């Protein structure tokens, strides 16, 4: 009897023995929360992305909250956010007292549309959250437009650790900062976690306090032998520090990040070669952009194809898929409480039911890619 092939997960983490040893080392150290391991992780991240200040936090959402809180937006401030993103890109604006204004996307990249952004800037925006979708940085014209407007820009780089643009590595250069995610499905994982990279020392100092209730010193500083026990509450903040347990995993992953990325890029190239002849189907973006962090492999299905049926069919064959993203304006809360920009969201509406994310991770082999593509093509036929 022929055995079924092993399942192909959508984005399982790439964990090896060095990762396990790193976490075990911290378990044996006697200190599990934020401490030396976290400090070293921050320093190593700083060296990789080229930002002088990196503050590790509990999630990319926390990094966004801190960066936005630091802007001291007036109540009701209008902050542009692409509608094609995860909910946190906009919900953090709400928590900071602002109102997200949802913007349309570019059909080629699914990043924010330059035209939609410029149209809304002409209406008056108090800030912008830019999303580097799938690991591909936003167009230079987007950053030029926001710079000319003189408003704060927070980069949602949850997909973009390791990506580069005209500034070099994505690191918050020329913006408020770049917010990274180290969630379990990301290119570099600490299980849960994130970081705020910035070139602004004042923001970095604010983030270090704000991530731990707004206190003037963290537990590592207060509890170590001989430490000065007094501390102050600067202002109410969040509980969003990163534990050394997670930082150790992140450091171990970072040490082999180049290898992990090389394997992802090889899988992306294989996908593109096999998918190129498929009529009516397009990979996003159409051509490989060497600057991308290769976080997602998104295809646009031919018009009229039932995406749910495709996902179910691939699932029955042991192939995991996902959707990135359901546009924010289609969620009930955003639809009822958040405005759409003056340019509308026609592109997002047109593509909303066609985008499909195929498996992509460092453990994916060329044979796995061939199996995914074969199953997809058979289903489309």
Give the tens place of pLDDT for each residue, 230-264: 689 889 999 999 999 999 999 999 999 999 999 99
Q: Residue 11 domain-assigned?
A: no
Q: Residue 250 domain-assigned?
A: yes
Q: Residue 1 domain-assigned?
A: no
For 129, list phi and psi in degrees, rounded to 5. -105, 115
354 with 304: CB under 8 angstroms? no
Tokens of 59: 């999630």
pLDDT tens by residue, 292-346? 999 999 999 999 999 999 999 999 999 999 999 999 999 999 999 999 999 999 9
Evaluate if residue 362 carries a pLDDT over 60: yes
pLDDT of residue 331: 98
Evaluate if residue 3 carries a pLDDT over 80: no
DSSP 95-128: HTT-EEEEE-B-TTT-SBPHHHHHHHHHH--SEE
pLDDT of residue 2: 66
Where does residue 135 fall: left (phi above 0), alpha (psi -120 to 50 degrees), or beta otherwise? left
Name the domain boundary from 191, 223, 255: 255
146-154 mean pLDDT = 98
339 with 101: CB under 8 angstroms? yes
For 51, list phi and psi in degrees, rounded to 5. -100, 135
CATH number, domain containing residue 64: 3.40.640.10
Q: Residue 122 domain-assigned?
A: yes
Whether residue 278 sits in one domain with residue 138: no
Tokens of 275: 């998918």
Q: Is 239 exposed, middle or buried (0-12, 13-18, 19+ CB in 10 A)?
A: exposed
Whether residue 68 sits in one domain with residue 94: yes
Distances (CA, A) of 188 to 20, 158, 247, 256: 15, 11, 11, 9
What's the total number of domains in the chain?
2
* pTM of the entire predicted model: 0.96
Q: Residue 294 domain-assigned?
A: yes
pLDDT of residue 219: 47
pLDDT of residue 228: 64
pLDDT of residue 245: 96
Name the domain boundary from 208, 234, 255: 255
Name the domain boundary from 200, 222, 255: 255
pLDDT band at 218 (very low <50, low <70, confident <90, very high): low
Alpha helical stretches, state H, the chain? 17-27, 36-49, 60-69, 88-95, 114-123, 140-149, 201-210, 219-223, 244-255, 257-275, 307-316, 332-337, 346-351, 366-380
Whether residue 217 sits in one domain with residue 355: no
Q: Residue 175 domain-assigned?
A: yes
CA pair distance 35, 243, nearest whole angstrom: 8
Mean per-residue pLDDT of the chain: 96
Evaluate if residue 36 carries a pLDDT over 80: yes
Whether residue 346 sits in one domain with residue 287: yes
Q: Residue 128 domain-assigned?
A: yes
> CB under 8 Å to 145, separation ≥6 — which residues?
114, 117, 118, 121
Q: Residue 43 domain-assigned?
A: yes
48-57 mean pLDDT = 98
pLDDT band at 221 (very low <50, low <70, confident <90, very high): low
Whether residue 230 sits in one domain with residue 242: yes
Whether residue 217 sits in one domain with residue 301: no
Could you tell me which of 260, 240, 269, 204 has the C-alpha nearest to residue 60?
240
Could you tell me which of 188, 191, 158 has the C-alpha nearest to residue 325?
158
Whether residue 325 sits in one domain with residue 282: yes
For 196, list phi and psi in degrees, rounded to 5. -110, 120
Determine the structural domain holding residue 191 and report its residue range.
17-255
pLDDT tens by residue, 94-138? 999 999 999 999 999 999 999 999 999 999 999 999 999 999 999
Could you tell me which of 170, 165, 158, 85 has the C-alpha nearest to residue 348?
85
Whether residue 91 sits in one domain with residue 218: yes
> CB under 8 Å to 153, separation ≥6 — which residues?
127, 128, 129, 130, 143, 146, 147, 175, 176
CATH number, domain containing residue 352: 3.90.1150.10
- What is the total residue count of the chain? 381
User: H/E element holding 80?
Assistant: strand 78-82
Half-sphere exposure at residue 346, Cβ-oriented, CA atoms within 13 angstroms: 5
Whether residue 122 sits in one domain with residue 37: yes
Where does residue 344 fall: left (phi above 0), alpha (psi -120 to 50 degrees), or beta otherwise? left
Whether residue 232 sits in one domain with residue 281: no
30-56 mean pLDDT = 97
CA pair distance 117, 125, nearest whole angstrom: 10
343-368 mean pLDDT = 98
Of 79-88, 219-228, 288-297, 316-325, the range with the lowest mean pLDDT is: 219-228
Whether residue 248 sits in one domain with residue 199: yes
pLDDT band at 229 (very low <50, low <70, confident <90, very high): low
Whether residue 172 sits in one domain with residue 275: no
């Amino acid at each position: 009897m022929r055995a079924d092939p092993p399942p192909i997960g959508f984005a399982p983490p790439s964990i090896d023995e060095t990762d396990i040893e790193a976490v075990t080392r911290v378990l044996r150290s006697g200190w599990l929360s934020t401490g030396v391991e976290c400090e070293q992780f921050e320093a190593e991240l700083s060296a990789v992305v080229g930002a002088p200040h990196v503050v590790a936090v509990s999630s990319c959402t926390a990094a966004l909250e801190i960066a936005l809180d630091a802007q001291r937006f007036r109540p009701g401030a209008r902050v542009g956010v692409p509608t094609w993103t995860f909910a946190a890109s906009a919900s953090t604006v709400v928590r900071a007292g602002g109102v997200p204004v949802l913007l349309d996307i570019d059909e080629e990249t699914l990043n924010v549309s330059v035209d939609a952004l410029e149209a809304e800037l002409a209406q008056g925006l108090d800030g912008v959250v830019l999303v580097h979708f799938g690991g591909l940085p936003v167009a230079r014209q987007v950053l030029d437009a926001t710079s000319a407007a003189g408003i704060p820009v927070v980069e949602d780089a949850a997909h973009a650790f390791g990506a580069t643009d005209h500034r070099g590595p994505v690191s918050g250069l020329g913006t408020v900062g770049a917010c990274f995610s180290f969630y379990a499905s990301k290119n570099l994982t600490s299980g849960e976690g994130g970081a705020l990279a910035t070139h602004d020392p004042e923001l970095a100092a604010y983030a270090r306090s704000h991530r731990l209730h707004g206190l003037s010193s963290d537990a590592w500083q207060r509890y170590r032998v001989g430490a000065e026990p007094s501390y102050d509450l600067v202002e109410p903040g969040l509980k969003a520090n990163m534990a050394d347990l997670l930082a150790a995993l992140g450091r171990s992953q970072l040490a082999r990040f180049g290898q992990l990325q090389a394997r992802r890029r090889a899988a992306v190239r294989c996908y593109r070669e096999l998918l190129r002849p498929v009529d009516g189907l397009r990979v996003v973006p159409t051509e490989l952009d060497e600057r991308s962090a290769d976080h997602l492999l998104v295809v646009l299905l031919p018009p009229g194809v039932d995406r749910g049926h495709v996902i179910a069919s691939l699932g029955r064959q042991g192939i995991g898929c996902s959707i990135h993203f359901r546009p924010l304006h289609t969620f009930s809360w955003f639809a009822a409480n958040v405005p759409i920009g003056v340019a509308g969201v026609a592109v997002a509406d047109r593509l909303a039911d066609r985008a499909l994310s195929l498996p992509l991770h460092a453990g994916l082999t060329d044979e796995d890619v061939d199996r995914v593509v074969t199953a997809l093509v058979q289903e489309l036929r």
